[in-house]
């Protein structure tokens, strides 16, 4: 008779004695009763894997013991955790201490030293990026200075209109020589439109009264095979003589300045 | 009103073998949908860089000048308008018109493409056209959301634009302007 059979027989006898007496045996401790319950049913889920059991099983542990339900319970001194110590699990908690941090994580942990000068690209993005570390040097560099090869630092292009016009805004508004020729005629036209200014009047720009609202005349296109008549619609009676040439018309409108 | 008429015939050359389209003068052009160009123009307007559109306007102005066969400043405004309107219409930018408000030249572009809310792209385009044809840099300031643009010297364009953005109408804008007094 093997040891296993003896143990089974002892268990059967013990159970029989308990049934006859109607009382719990002296071995019915909390731990043993709880452990004994599954011995008649399913294998305990705490049973280690076959490999772990084979590695830690003492000499008495035969391959059949793995499939024997309640086998560890038969010995009260052997709890499942003690019976099957897993050599694989044991060093696991100490492993993180030996893990070498990856190089990618290492620079992210410490803050940047105060003496480190950021790259030009980082400086350029500074304006739109969130605030940096306090110790980091504040190097303020304009984005345009980094991106444009030859920036005009006198006055940046402030608005889309300015940039669309490609205008040198820092250039003072000087009188254009082209407007000198039609000066007398412009004054006359303006006089006809507004009714305020006499031709060649020297102090006409100092008139305090508000100007009258001018009215427009529409220029009809020419040189087109099918001139459209709706372009020639008259918005208002023409109060100024039409410009004889396009250059004259352009010079007149370019000579206008805010009053 | 005498002058060479603009001939739109044969303005485009479709080279199907090469898969290319050329405008008169040999410039290669791309046929793009308005829905495709509009977002690109809007981004350019937001970034404040519409130089490409102004460059296109100068090319159109040069084509109109070439078809005119004469220096635009020396011919009548009607003749210049006829050729410029024809070229702009062929490229689908709308129907060009000139209005003379006293000494001020107001350019209208009926049916212009809706590229950006402030019409800055069309403003840059028209500025390029008139600069190329007039031989000097000019600025076309959009008047609100209308299809009108006041032609002024670039040095005063910003101030005029501030008036227009505040809702001032074209008649009042013109009334606020006066010919520059001589030295």
Query: Model confidence over A97-124: pLDDT tens digits?
Result: 333 344 444 444 444 433 333 333 333 3
Mean pLDDT of A241-258: 88
Does this model's pTM top 0.80? My answer is: no
Contact of B51 with chain A, judged by CB distance below 8 Å, is answered with yes
Inter-chain CB proximity B49 and A256 less than 8 Å:
no
Which member of A180, A194, A245 has the closest CB to residue B75? A245
Q: How far is CA A138 from the centre of its chain?
A: 23
Region of residue B102 (left: phi > 0; alpha: psi -120 to 50; beta: else): left
Percent of chain A topping pLDDT 70: 16
User: How much is the pLDDT for A5?
Assistant: 87
Is B178 in Cβ contact with A259 (below 8 Å)? Answer: yes
Contact list in B for residue A178 (CB cut-off 8 A) is 136
* Contact by Cβ (8 Å): B38, B114: yes
Pairwise CA distance, residues A217 & A141, whole Å: 52
Taking CB atoms and an 8 Å limit, are B154 and A167 in contact across chains?
yes
Candidates B95, B130, B157; nearest CB to A161 = B157
Query: In this predicted model, which residue has the larger pLDDT, B108 or A234?
Result: B108
Q: What is the pLDDT of residue A210?
A: 53
pLDDT of residue A254: 94
Q: Is B166 part of the contact surface with chain A (CB cutoff 8 Å)?
A: no
Q: Which contiguous run of DSSP H or E holds residue B87?
A: helix B77-90
CA distance B122 to B116: 9
Decide if pLDDT at B75 tops 50. yes
Q: Which residues of A touch B96 (CB under 8 A)?
A: 221
pLDDT tens sequence across B31-69: 988 888 888 888 888 888 899 999 999 999 999 999 988
Of A175, A259, A185, whose CA–CA distance to B175 is shortest?
Answer: A259
* B29: phi then psi, degrees, rounded to nearest 5: -125, 160
* Residue A238, min C-alpha distance to chain B (Å): 9
Where is mean pLDDT largest: A62-71, A93-102, A197-206, A233-242? A233-242
Contact status of B117 with chain A (Cβ, < 8 Å): no
Q: What is the mean pLDDT of residues B156-181?
A: 89
| CB A4 within 8 Å of CB A68 | yes
Interface contact A57, partner B, CB < 8 A: no
The per-type count for chain A, helices as H runs and strands as E runs, is: 10, 2
CA distance A239 to chain B (A): 8
Cβ contact A216–B100 (<8 Å):
yes
Highest mean pLDDT pick, A96-100, A224-228, A251-255, B23-27: A251-255
Is the CB of residue B58 less than 8 Å from the CB of residue B52? no
Quick check: A184 contacting B, CB < 8 Å? Answer: no
A216-245 residues touching B, CB cutoff 8 A: 216-225, 227-228, 231, 235, 238-240, 242-245
pLDDT for A161 equals 58
Confidence at residue A1, expressed as pLDDT on a 0 to 100 scale? 67
Condensed to tens digits (0 to 9), the pLDDT of residues B76-134 reads: 998 999 999 999 999 999 999 999 888 899 999 998 888 888 889 999 999 999 999 99
Model ipTM value: 0.90
Give the long-range contacts of residues A87-96, CB within 8 A, separation 24 or more.
A87/A55, A87/A56, A88/A52
Binary contact (A222, B79; C-beta < 8 A): yes
Domain boundaries, chain B: 12-175
* Residue A251 confidence (pLDDT): 93
Within 8 A by CB and 6+ apart from B46, the residues are A160
What is the pLDDT, as a whole number, of residue B102?
85
Instruction: Label each residue of A144-211 as H, E or C.
Output: HHHHCCCCCCCCCCCCHHHHHHCCCCCCCCCCCHHHCCCHHHHHHHHHHHHCCCCCCCCCHHHCCCCC
Domain B12-175 has CATH 3.30.1380: yes
Q: Which residue has the higher pLDDT, A78 or B23?
A: B23
């Amino acid at each position: 008779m093997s040891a296993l059979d003896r143990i089974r027989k002892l268990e059967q006898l013990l159970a029989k004695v308990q049934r006859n007496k109607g009382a719990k045996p002296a071995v019915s401790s909390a731990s043993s009763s709880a452990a004994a319950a599954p011995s008649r049913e399913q294998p305990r889920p705490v049973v280690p894997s076959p490999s772990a059991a084979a590695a830690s099983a003492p000499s008495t542990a035969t391959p059949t013991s793995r499939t024997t339900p309640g086998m560890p319970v038969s010995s009260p001194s052997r709890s499942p955790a003690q019976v099957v110590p897993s050599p694989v699990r044991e060093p696991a908690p100490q492993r993180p201490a030996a893990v070498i941090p990856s190089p990618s994580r290492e620079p992210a942990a410490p803050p940047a030293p105060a003496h480190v000068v950021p790259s030009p690209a980082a400086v350029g993005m500074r304006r739109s990026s969130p605030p940096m570390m306090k110790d980091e040097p504040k190097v303020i560099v304009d984005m345009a200075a980094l991106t444009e090869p030859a920036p005009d630092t006198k006055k940046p292009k402030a608005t889309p209109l300015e940039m669309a016009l490609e205008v040198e805004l820092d250039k003072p508004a000087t009188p254009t020589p082209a407007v000198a020729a039609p000066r007398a005629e412009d004054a006359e036209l303006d006089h006809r439109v507004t009714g305020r200014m006499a031709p060649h009047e020297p102090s006409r720009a100092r008139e305090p009264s508000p100007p009258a609202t001018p009215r427009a005349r529409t220029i009809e296109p020419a040189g087109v095979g099918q001139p459209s008549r709706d372009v020639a619609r008259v918005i208002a009676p023409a109060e100024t003589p039409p410009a004889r040439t396009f250059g004259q018309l352009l010079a007149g409108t370019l000579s206008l300045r805010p009053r | 009103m005498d002058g060479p008429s603009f001939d739109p015939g044969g303005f485009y050359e479709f080279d199907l073998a090469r898969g290319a389209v050329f405008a008169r003068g040999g410039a290669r052009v791309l046929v793009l949908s308005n829905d495709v160009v509009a977002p690109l123009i809007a981004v350019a307007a937001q970034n404040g860089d519409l130089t490409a559109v102004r460059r296109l306007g100068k090319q159109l102005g040069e084509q109109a000048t070439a078809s005119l066969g004469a220096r635009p400043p020396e011919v009548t405004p009607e003749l210049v308008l006829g050729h410029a309107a024809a070229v702009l219409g062929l490229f689908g930018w709308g129907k060009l018109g000139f209005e003379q408000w006293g000494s001020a030249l107001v350019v209208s572009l009926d049916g212009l493409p809706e590229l950006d809310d402030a019409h800055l792209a069309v403003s840059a385009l028209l500025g390029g056209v008139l600069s190329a044809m007039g031989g000097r840099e000019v600025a076309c300031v959009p008047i609100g959301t209308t299809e009108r643009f006041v032609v002024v010297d670039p040095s005063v364009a910003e101030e005029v634009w501030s008036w227009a953005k505040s809702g001032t109408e074209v008649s009042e804008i013109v009334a606020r302007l006066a010919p520059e007094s001589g030295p």
